Amino acid sequence: MPGSPCNTRADAGTPERRPDAASNCRRRGPRPGRPAGLGSGGRRGGADAGIYLAWLREVTGRPYRLPSSAEWEYAARAGTTTARWWGDEVGSGHAVCEECGLEWEVGSTAPTGSLPPNPWGLHDMLGNVQELVADCWISTYEDASRTDGSPVREASRHWSEGRCLRPTWRGGAFSYFRWTVRAAWRSGGSILATADARHAHPQVGGGTGFRVALTLDRGSPGPAR
């Protein structure tokens, strides 16, 4: 796996990572503070991701980025082969979504870490907020197969002049139907470019977020590649 996503949502507090891959996420992770221009509450989109990642790279000196869709799913599955890391059925009490049997469903997001993590120590990979990944949206993988975990960009018809006009989201959210809470689920929901436009739009915000990744050099404890 090229990168290993930190268990850090934009609205989260303490960063964590799967224990066997990146114990230095806490040691070298985000310093105290908050980048200017970041949206409030759970309203996180592509503009916020760009702002946060630029700030994070500056304060840490490390090349943090969005995970690719393949990396995200690898981390969400955490070595399992079922539809969800806890099994094939949604069940009750495993994720925050509509009719998932928890106090937050439909009404709001849950604080990060309220539910048990997956086998790799990652919280809230499924449900709570859907997460932005580095891929530009494609309806199927037939015309854009990948074997190296890299994000789909130029192969998407929504990629134009070096910019993705329709990103990919993963994982489902607190207000989403139960069936969306599975490792393979993807969405091509659009985003609004500016914070002002996003917050003024009644259908945007509240159920979106992102998770950061860092490519580590496994041969050395020094700086990441």
Region 59-71 average pLDDT = 95
Enumerate residues 6+ apart whose C-beta is below 8 A from 16.
6, 7, 8, 25, 26, 113, 117, 121, 122, 123
pLDDT band of 64, cuts 50, 70, 90: very high
Residue 163 pairs with which residues in a beta bridge?
160
Which amino acid is located at 108 in the chain?
S
To which residue do tokens 């050099």 refer? 217
Catalogue all structural domains in the chain, each as residue range(s) with its CATH number.
Answer: 1-142+152-216 (3.90.1580.10)
Measure the CA angle with vertex 84, ends 104 and 158; round to 5°. Answer: 85
Beta carbons of 90 and 100 less than 8 angstroms apart: yes
pLDDT per position as a tens digit, 153-208: 988 988 999 888 888 999 988 888 889 899 999 988 755 444 444 444 444 446 78
Give the per-residue pLDDT at 178: 87
Is 164 within 8 Å of 158 (Cβ atoms)?
Answer: yes
Instruction: Give the pLDDT score at 217.
Output: 79
Q: How many helices (H) and strands (E) does the chain have?
A: 4, 7
Q: If you average pLDDT over every residue of the chain, what do you get?
A: 75
Residue 100 pLDDT greater than 70, yes or no:
yes
Take residue 71 and report the two structure tokens written for it: 């990396």
Residue type for 18, please? R
Give the length of the chain.
225
DSSP 8-state code for residue 168: E
**Joined tokens for residue 84:** 């969800």
Exposed/middle/buried for 155, CB within 10 Å: 0-12, 13-18, 19+? Answer: middle
